[in-house]
Amino acid sequence: MGATTAASPASIAEPRSEGFERVRAVLQTLAHGHDPLWLTSSARSAQEAADVLGVALGQIAKSVVFRRKSDDGAVLVIAAGDRRVDERKLQVHTGPLGRADADFVKARTGFSIGGVSPLGFAPAQGWSAPQLFIDETLFRFDTIWAAAGHPNGVFQMTPQQLVALTGAPVVEVMQS
């Protein structure tokens, strides 16, 4: 299975964002065993996060947001950083999808692109939390890392913990 992590890249002196603190509070409420880390450098992309953490690209549980055409709702796939979502496979579960721009992502999740967490959503009034799916290829790894509400925030878990924390179904929606 995959590696865990190198030395802790967290910095205690860095300011925390509202999104980061929201994710921290949810993790504490759910009694998750790992506090989120504030990285000393931004990890907006899966590759940046993997480089900073010293882990395999696939261990980064990236958040890919789509716009559901039927109701303009958000669909969020938590996918392995080394894989691409196959939109056709995903649409079997959601119906037709479109692209989600930065404003859409912020309004429907409460997070900016590069920091979308799989939990702790704060969608704009009138919108429900995104429909979530978990990429089954994350289960190749013992430890994975997800965004914690800000491009500098991440938190550690197992794929099984991701399922328990989110209640999201595990699906096969990656490109072959």
pLDDT of residue 34: 94
Percent of the chain with pLDDT over 90: 84
pLDDT band of residue 41 (cuts 50, 70, 90) is: confident
pLDDT for 3 equals: 42
Q: Does 11 map to a domain?
A: no
Q: What is the pLDDT of residue 4?
A: 43
Assigned domain for 3 exists: no
Q: What's the whole-number mean pLDDT along residues 120-131? A: 93
Q: What is the pLDDT, as a whole number, of residue 43? A: 86
Q: Minimal CA–CA distance to 102: which of 117, 92, 115, 90?
A: 115
How many domains, in total, are found in the chain? 1
In a domain, 10, yes or no: no
> What CATH number is associated with residue 167?
3.90.960.10
Looking at residue 14, what is its pLDDT?
Answer: 54
Q: Is 5 among the domain residues?
A: no
Query: Is the pLDDT at 7 greater than 50, yes or no?
Result: no
Q: Output the average pLDDT for the chain.
A: 91
Which residue range is the domain that position 138 belongs to?
A: 18-171
**Percentage of the chain with pLDDT > 70?**
91
Let me know if 1 is exposed, middle or buried by CB neighbors in 10 A (0-12, 13-18, 19+). Answer: exposed
In a domain, 176, yes or no: no
Mean local confidence (pLDDT), 57-78: 97
